[in-house]
Amino acid sequence: MVPPEDQRLDCGDDEPQEPWWSRTRTDPAAAWGAWAQRTDWYCPVDLLPTLTLEDFRRLPISPSSLTIQPDRGWVLVNKETIAYSDGDEQTLRTEVLGVGVDVVVKPESFTWTFGGGAPFTTKGPGHPYPKHDVAQAFTHLGKAAITLTTTWSGRYRVDGSAQWRDVAGTATTTTTSQPFEVVERRSVLVDRG
């Protein structure tokens, strides 16, 4: 059976499912009541559980790595300190309403905060020296750290379905480097004569 034109559904490769009709009676001796339509036309995928944004944000997404160059426990004041991460997707497994779900999370953006400086956001995870593209100079001496907040998007597939669906929203993770010292070094001319 094909749904009427005014109820046409795009179910992708699946066939639209017919409405569900039922009728009842008050007791076994009573006459059956009139037929009543309980559902409209629907796509099979509509019956699958949905991974909500709250479900997505509860997943154990591993925070992005954070690498600093130079990585020696101190950096020079007024000289760029390089930071970078990885842009790897993560594959997770969970359950929704007792049904298994595969989830793939992908980093969408990286927000960097160098010490007390203003945060800035990049689409990519940065790169190590010499092709670095995430760097900032510390202008004050003392202890500092770099914080990376990664924004993740997701897609999921419910067991029994081949279709991947996007998660409606994003999740974030935060990584903070070990504290390090911002120091000043002075050069001294030495007469070797």
8 Å CB contact between 102 and 157: yes
How high is the mean pLDDT in each 10-residue block of the chain (193 residues)? 60 73 86 82 72 96 97 94 96 93 98 92 97 95 97 94 92 97 89 77
Residues 6+ apart with CB under 8 A from 44: 11, 14, 15, 17
pLDDT value of position 192: 79
Q: How far apart are CA 183 and CA 108, in angstroms?
A: 34
**In this structure, what token pair is assigned to residue 167?**
């998660």
Residue given tokens 């309980």 in the structure block = 38
pTM of the predicted model over 0.95:
no
pLDDT value at position 9? Answer: 72
Q: What is the pLDDT of residue 147?
A: 97
Residue 123: strand pairing partners: none
Structural domains in the chain, CATH included, are 11-47 (no CATH), 49-183 (2.60.40.10)
Give start and end residues of each alpha helix (H) in 29-135.
53-58
**SS3 state of residue 47:** helix
Q: Check residue 4 and give its pLDDT.
A: 57
Q: How far apart are CA 102 and CA 155, in angstroms?
A: 8
**pLDDT recorded at residue 110:** 99
